[in-house]
Amino acid sequence: MPVAVQMHPSHVKPVVADVAAAGGKVADSYLAHVQMHEKAGYYAVQGLRSVFDYFTGYGAQMNERQWLARFLYLESVAGVPGMVAGMLRHLRSLRTMERDHGWIHTLLEEAENERMHLLTFMQLRNPGLLFRASVIAGQALVFNAYMIAYTLSPKTCHSFVGYLEEEAVKTYTRAINDLDAGKLPKWTDRQAPEIGKFYWRLKPDANMRDLLLAVRADEACHIHVNHTFAHLDADDTNPFSPGSVQLP
């Protein structure tokens, strides 16, 4: 199966353990929003989450189909920021004829990882025309809005993505808790899709819980990377080596 294995499979197991040990909670240091760009990113995410929850039917009782609809739409949007930021930094490097200092690779890895989330969940549900139309509309809106925002304030955008990924961790944590509580019986013994087993290097008999743990760990990694980028200047060197989210 020709799937590009990039950033996350190599470190997903220890991160799965770390996030699980924390009960799916993000580190306290990420929750503070003190500087102006952090406040802007945080409150933008809170406002958008309310709208997203309404349109995706997020509520107290969620079945497997509803969870998949939420995952699919979430991941179709989550794959945009990294690609836009990487593209803009790529163009900037070409325009100024200067090095990018290593940011592009990490940003594109993030976009690729989110796309793999989408492709994996697509093995469990094939959305209809209305859903696909809403994805096109959402992508057009997010792409253009994020491109303008990143041009004006990259730090604000990375804070926004960091807080967005915190919400993603909360979403996947609740889904895992629902699964553990027996509220998602169709997933209790369901095997993870083969593409997911290959990409995350899961065990041959990996199930849906294993898959959700791996995806949640990815989102936790994106929190760390984006909150780090939010405190760097555009010409600073990327502290993450290719294929890693660990600071040296």
Binding-site residues for Fe cation, in ranges, read 75, 114, 117, 165, 219, 222
- Annotated binding-site residues read 75, 114, 117, 165, 219, 222
Give the 3-state secondary structure of residue 155. Answer: helix
127 neighbors 72 (Cβ within 8 angstroms) = yes
SS3 content of the chain, % helix, strand, coil (to 5): 70, 0, 30
Which candidate, 166, 238, 8, places its Cα nearest to that of 248? 238
Rounded to a whole number of angstroms, the distance between the first and last alpha carbons of the chain is: 33
**Cross-strand pairs, 207:** 191
199 neighbors 145 (Cβ within 8 angstroms) = no
